[in-house]
Amino acid sequence: MSDGHDLDHYADDLAAVTAHLDLKGAIHVGHSTAGGEVVRYLARHGESRVAKAAIMSAIPPLMLQTESNPGGQPKSVFDDLQAQLAANRSAFYLSIASGPFYGYNRPGAEPSEANIRNWWRQGMMGGAKAAYDGIVAWSQTDQTEDLKKISVPVLVMHGDDDQVVPYADSAPLSAKLLKNGTLKTYAGYPHGMPTVHHEVINADLLEFFRS
């Protein structure tokens, strides 16, 4: 596997695994940054091994605010995330998991200590440099042209209360750019909806797989 921390490297690693396993007719499912990885993989390596895909709470088309993407977030937002991670990544991961990732900072929310600790555990298992560089990868990679290249069916799943990847500038735009995209919006769901609403998300994925 490669050691680059950008979407091209992520996609190339995925392509290497699918080729090694000789996968055919695969269904790729990606959450958050992995949604961007799936999109870049399909655009960069083609669809010969793929039947369909699902992306949820995913980063495409582009999270960064630019002249052509005025609804995105200012670069200062992501610079601050990198600064927090560099200063104390343990505290950073704890704050993300305890707050916006699962929507535990919303009124009436009931935080799960198990979910928070497990998310923190996963973060701390990763490399510090990979996480630091990864913030640039998931926030500043424009995947507009990637999405236009994809022709297999893609289910675009996103909660409209996503505080990590804001809904309005992500899922609806991705669905429009895809040749065969279907948008499924979840009212009030947070970024980490596959965990806190797994019973709904898993059922919808299975329905899509079988369709």
Active-site position among 28, 31, 158, 191? 191
Q: Is 5 a catalytic residue?
A: no
Active-site position among 12, 32, 174, 197? 32
- The rounded distance, in Å, linking the Cα atoms of 170 and 163 is 12
Q: Are 58 and 39 in contact (CB under 8 A)?
A: yes
Active-site position among 146, 162, 170, 174? 162
Q: Is 203 helix (H, G, I), strand (E, B) or coil?
A: helix
Q: Is 26 helix (H, G, I), strand (E, B) or coil?
A: strand
Q: Is 191 a catalytic residue?
A: yes
Q: Is 45 a catalytic residue?
A: no
CA dihedral for 72, 31, 60, 156, sign (positive or negative): negative
- The rounded distance, in Å, linking the Cα atoms of 131 and 149 is 28
Instruction: Classify strands 26-31 and 181-186 as parallel, antiparallel or unpaired.
Output: unpaired
Active site residues: 32, 162, 191
